[in-house]
Structure 1
Amino acid sequence: MLQSQDLKRLDKLFSSMQEANGCFLGYPFARGFDYEPLWRFMRLAGNNLGDPFEPGTYRVNSYEFECEVIEFFAQLFRAPPREFWGYISSGGTEGNTYGLYLARELYPDAVAYFSQDTHYSVSKGVRLLGLDHCVVRSQSNGEMSYDDLAQKATRTRNRPAVVVANIGTTMKEGKDDTLKIRAVLRDVGIGAIYIHSDAALCGPYAPFLDPKPAFDFADGADSITLSGHKFLGAPMPCGVVLSRKRHVQRVMRAIDYIGSSDTTLSGSRNAYTPIILWYAIRTLGIEGIKRMFRQCEQLAAYTADELNSRGVGAWRNSNALTVVLPPVEESIKAKWQIATQDVSHLVITPGTTKRQTDALIEAITNRGR
């Protein structure tokens, strides 16, 4: 039994996290979810060990629900029937590393290309995997410069190309075009191409945008990752990674003592995040996801317009939930947990309220008055 001082520490931590949940706008993490019907699962041990599509000796798992989540997104991302595979990961970093791992096993002598606006997990992944890589310039909106990709790929046209396409860059929500990427690489003489789409934030709603960005399997992607906590609303980081099955079969290894194949990056995996994501997509459905996006997009548009009307040069990409603005002061950055590089931004995710954005706008525009 915990002593009273330990219980007080837990109470203090809860209060601190509760307060922080009410005033963070700079990082994509959905709020407003209710998973009370799933609390009972926390009384049970759970481990999704091995390949989710294979029965194994280890039965303390949620494979059935994991597979349904994978199949939901496979259809959403236009994966060829029976030619896809996937699993639920710890988040976007694992998903990006897994995509790069599959690419390296297919093309060991490849050069990896990604833009300067790409998430930091990709530069970490290429170093871990020992992949030669090249950083491509970005356009002002965060999208990859296809002219710079062509120039840099021309120098190594005799080697395969692995490209990480951003479907919503971290700071500006810029979206790269997989069809353009393949066309550019073919034009410079590269035929061996692997494209991994990092759709961490935008994945759940990108298929419904008009115009729809080119990023899915029908648009030439070989693997795709998305986050479960950024838009769908899992209370802890998690993700979904999908790939063409033939790429996964290259890395598959049979493990006798678990009675299954080793196909994932992490081996033992969370058995609860598949249940949470299954619950989210079954509760929301396609129409619910569309509705959540419309609500978030409307609030993002309002926020950008209101900032501009008050003299703050805010902007956002078409259909984006990310509002970009000049760097904010340290006190505002600290209170509202605002992500900042050369620019600051706020991200309107499900659960963000107009009251919160109005309070931030007031703090930014009334500073020093």
Structure 2
Amino acid sequence: MDDPYKLHATAMPLEQRRAALTALAGKIRSGGTELGWQVTWNVDYGDFTWLIGGHINNIGDPFDDNEFSSETKAVERAVLDYFAELWGIPPPHDPQDRNSYWGFLLTMGASEGNIYGLWNARDYFLGKDLLLPEHSSGDGVEPREPVLLYSVESHYSVGKTAHVLLLETPADVGARRYPGQCPIEGEWPQGVPATGGGSGPGTIDVHALRALVEFFAARHHPVIVVLNAGTTFKGACDDIAAVNEILAECYSATTGPSWQTRPGNGGRPDRRSWYWIHVDGALGAAYLPFFAMAPERADLESGIPVPAFDFAVPGVCSMVVSAHKWIGSPWPGGVYLTRNRYRMRPPPFPEYVGSADTMLAGSRNGQTAVVMWDFLARNSYETQTTEAVTALRLARYTEAKLTALQHNSDHVPDLWVGRSPWSLSIRFRRPAQDIVDEFGLSGMRVQVQGADRAYVHLYIMRDTPRDRIDALIRRLAEPGAF
């Protein structure tokens, strides 16, 4: 069959072009039936047709106005203030306060924020110039190269970012400097093992992490630790507060709580931490704060505390969230936040732009700021708390229905049903392909005790209807569903 979208040197006939666009529009509109993806589908963007009626470009730093007038930086700053307060750094942004927040809205989604956060962390530990250094007197411990620690359950963008930035993992540093000395079982790992392996909840194994951190701290390697507020497949939330305590203990015992470096800031020694926690909260960082606001939260997860994940945890240096997942956006986007104390000195001021070049990209999407601002303007904390609690209850309902199905049907096999605490993701045995296609489930193979299991998962989002879940359960109960 001919490709209806194939382009040629000659212009496409009008009717052919319209037919191709009509078919494409139908495909896009059908997306709301898919359960396996972290996307809020049913959002009315009817008020925003003007957003694609002209060019909108938030070029340069959000806190620097420039001469390019078709921008939405004032709205962007309002969104950043909102998330700074939600995540534990009271606004407004103060460029001279080392503890004040700074950030920007992402164009590529949370993956862009992961790249930026790890880039910033790498340069921080390589002794490059800080924007607001804390000068110190006296000699400090001279550090070795930083080591990147991230869970095997982390998003694939983290491993890709390590490759792009030439950041070394335990497998890299261990093979080069410390062959045969891995403090955990087996060879030096690329990623930190997950609790309980493939059948576990998907959280980082804090015991394995401690062993690795102790090893590298004793040898004066700083560590960059990526933790998750909602992993991609299982929706797991790492115990970020516990990891912060481990890092503080390990480095206090071997190096003292801080070190001074000479290479940065004109040769003057400055005070820097030994560790950097970056939180990938692509999905969870948008709704986890509201679980803590729910009056009935003690009953939501059988007494399991709502995980601490934000800047209230002292070691957290940077965080990201996506716009197109829980909140909902017609295109990828998100938020990156850090503190001024961790920012590196930017490149020389590009005069023709009229704004500091402080981010990964120069030109940035200004539309996301408007979509996020409108959602936050329309939805109070109370409304968002209700939506988050409703979604969690539906996730628990789905988990219970799947568990009952495998126990009450003679022809349904063990479904391997799993849901991690505070997660909106439910995982189970992969059904027949027609069911996967009908309900838009997302699949992944997982090693469990040496066996290769084919799983799918579904996500409960703000707009997931219960009748869609019930329809899936009915299909799974049919003969031949697996």
TM-score, with length taken from structure 2: 0.73
Letter in 2 for 1:168: G
**Is the counterpart of residue 323 in structure 1 residue 426 in structure 2?**
yes
Matching residue within 23, 28, 31 for 1:12 = 23
- The correspondence for 2:165, drawn from 129, 134, 147, is 129
Q: CA deviation at 1:44?
A: 1.8
Report the 3-state secondary structure (helix = DSSP H, G, I; strand = E; otherwise coil) of the residue aligned with 1:254: coil
What do the CA deviations read for 1:272-326 (whole angstroms, capped 9, x no partner)? 1100000011011212211211221121111111111111442312222111212
**Structure-2 separation of matches of 1:214 and 1:266:** 31
Question: Do the aligned residues in 2 keep the contact of 1:207 with 1:213 (CA within 8 Å)?
Answer: no
Aligned residue for 1:6, secondary structure, equals: helix
Q: Check whether the contact 2:290–2:384 (CA below 8 A) recurs between aligned residues.
A: no
Contact 2:110 2:321 (C-alpha < 8 Å) held by counterparts: yes
> 2:212 — aligned with what?
152
TM-aligned CA deviation for residue 196 of structure 1: 0.5
**Is 1:116 matched up with 2:169?**
no
Contact 2:392 2:422 in 1 (8 A): yes
State the secondary structure of the residue aligned to 1:291: helix
**Residue identity (%):** 31
Deviation digits for residues 315-363 of structure 1, max 9, x if unmatched?
Answer: 3122221112123333333333322222321001111111221222222
Displacement after TM superposition at 1:80 (Å): 4.8
| 3-state DSSP of counterpart to 2:468 | helix
Query: Who is 2:125 aligned against?
Result: 107
Shift of 1:77: 0.2
- Aligned-pair CA distance for 1:133: 1.5
Partner of 1:32: 42
How far did 1:248 drift? 2.6
Q: What is the identity, as a one-letter code, of the residue corresponding to 2:246? A: V
The yes-or-no answer on 1:143 pairing with 2:203 is yes
1:367, distance to aligned residue in structure 2 (A): 4.2
Question: Over the residues paired in the alignment, what is the CA RMSD in angstroms?
Answer: 1.7
Q: Is 1:65 matched up with 2:127? A: no
1:44 aligns to what?
54
Question: Partners in 2 of 1:75 and 1:2 — Cα distance?
Answer: 53
> How many positions carry a matched residue from both structures?
368
CA, structure 1 residues 22+35, in 2 after alignment: closer, same or farther (shift >3 Å)?
closer
Cα distance in 2 between the residues matched to 1:71 and 1:339: 35
CA distance in 2, matches of 1:80, 1:299: 33
Counterpart for residue 88 of structure 1: 105
Residues 132-164 of structure 1 deviation map (CA, whole Å, 9 limit, x = unaligned): 123100111111101101122233221101000
How far off is 1:188 after superposition?
2.8
Q: Is the 8 A contact 1:26 1:337 kept in 2?
A: yes
Helix, strand or coil for the counterpart of 1:46?
coil
Deviations 1:56-85 (Å, cap 9, x if unpaired)?
Answer: 122211000001000000000001543111
Cα shift readout 1:109-144 (whole Å, capped 9, x = no counterpart): 211100000000000111111111231001111111
| Aligned residues of 2:291 and 2:388 also touching (Cα < 8 A) | no
Q: Distance in 2 between matches of 1:2 and 1:103?
A: 52
8 Å CA contact 1:70–1:87 kept in 2: the answer is yes
Q: 1:4–1:120: structure 2 CA closer, same or farther, 3 Å change rule? A: same
Unpaired runs of at least 5, structure 1: none
Q: Deviations over 1:239-259 (max 9, x none)?
A: 111111232343454211101
Query: In the alignment, which residue of structure 2 is the partner of 1:271?
Result: 366
1:194 to 276, 283, 287: 276
The equivalent residue for 2:452 is none
Aligned partners of 1:300 and 1:323 also within 8 Å: yes
1:238 aligns with 2:333: yes
Match of 1:55 among 58, 61, 65: 65
- Aligned in 2, Cα 1:301/1:253: closer, same or farther, shift over 3 Å? farther
1:169 to 1:208, Cα distance in 2 relative to 1, 3 A: same
Q: Distance in 2 between matches of 1:195 and 1:326?
A: 34
Asked if structure 1 preserves the Cα contact closer than 8 Å seen for 2:324 and 2:333, the reply is: yes
* Number of the residue aligned with 1:284: 379
- Alignment of 1:349 with 2:461, yes or no, is yes
User: CA 1:224–1:252 in structure 2 vs 1: closer, same or farther (change >3 Å)?
Assistant: farther
Q: Pick the aligned partner of 1:300 from 395, 399, 404.
A: 395
For the 8 Å contact 1:105–1:250, the answer to whether it is kept is no
Report the 3-state secondary structure (helix = DSSP H, G, I; strand = E; otherwise coil) of the residue aligned with 1:222: strand
Q: TM-score, normalised by structure 1?
A: 0.95
Question: Residues 69-104 of structure 1: CA distance to partner in whole angstroms, max 9, x if unpaired?
Answer: 000000000015431111110201101111101101
Give the C-alpha shift of residue 207 in structure 1.
Answer: 1.4
1:166 counterpart residue number: 228
Amino acid at match of 2:114: N
